[in-house]
């Protein structure tokens, strides 16, 4: 089978194979292309949400690194990810410590730091768990998710959603890049 490959940033996505073949994704790291089974990284797309339930974001590609546009002191970031194949993941990455003098020198510029991410696989999640995370993000929303739709209409759509695809369609109908 010759999968259709589409280049996007650092991830090359492939169509889901037919039969018993596992889904694979090709990741570009430097000048090298590596094949990864979905067991190593979640199958795209994924909904990411923070631990407090303050926000949710749909990422249509799964990345093995993050570009940080803000310099922080040493800090670990952790997010919950709900993948399209109904598996739950933890996304973790660490911002290396940047001395205060370096941060002050870059006060009016936008430096970038690329850091690797760690994906930790968990069990499958029930649809109600994704629904609860999405509803909590709507509850904590400061008019980002609800800038083009009425909050009550969005809540009704989320309560009626029956699967991951329904949540993606709802996200796409929000009318903006809410991430």
The answer, yes or no, to whether residue 36 has pLDDT greater than 80, is: no
If you average pLDDT over each of 44-53, 65-74, 81-90, which comes out highest? 81-90
pTM value is 0.71
Q: Is the pLDDT of residue 62 over 80?
A: yes
**Which of 165, 164, 171, 89 is CA-nearest to residue 130?**
164
DSSP, residue by residue, the chain:
----EEEETTEEEEPPPSTTPPPEEEEEETTEEEEEETTTSPPSPEEEEETTSS-EEEESS--SEEEE-S--SSEEEEEEEEETTSEEEEEEEEEPP--HHHHHHTTTS---EEEE-EEEEEEE--HHHHHHHHHHHHHT--SSTTSSS-HHHHHHHHHH--SHHHHHHHHHHT-S---
Among 5-14, 36-45, 157-166, 168-177, the range scoring the smallest mean pLDDT is: 5-14
């Amino acid at each position: 089978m010759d999968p259709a490959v589409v280049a996007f940033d650092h991830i090359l996505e492939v169509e889901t194979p037919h039969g018993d073949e596992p889904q694979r994704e090709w990741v570009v790291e430097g000048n090298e292309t590596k094949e990864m089974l979905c067991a190593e990284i979640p199958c795209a797309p994924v909904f990411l949400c923070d631990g407090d339930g303050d926000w949710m974001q749909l990422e249509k590609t799964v990345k093995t690194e993050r570009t940080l546009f803000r310099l922080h002191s040493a800090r670990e970031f952790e997010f919950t990810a709900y993948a399209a194949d109904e598996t739950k993941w933890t996304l973790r990455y660490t911002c290396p410590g940047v001395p205060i003098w370096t941060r002050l020198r870059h006060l009016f510029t936008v430096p970038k730091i690329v850091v690797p991410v760690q994906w930790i696989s968990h069990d499958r999640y029930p649809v109600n768990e994704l629904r609860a995370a999405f509803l909590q993000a709507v509850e904590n929303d400061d008019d980002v998710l609800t800038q083009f739709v009425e909050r009550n209409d969005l809540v009704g759509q989320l309560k009626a959603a029956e699967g991951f695809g329904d949540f993606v369609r709802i996200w796409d109908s929000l009318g903006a890049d809410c991430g």
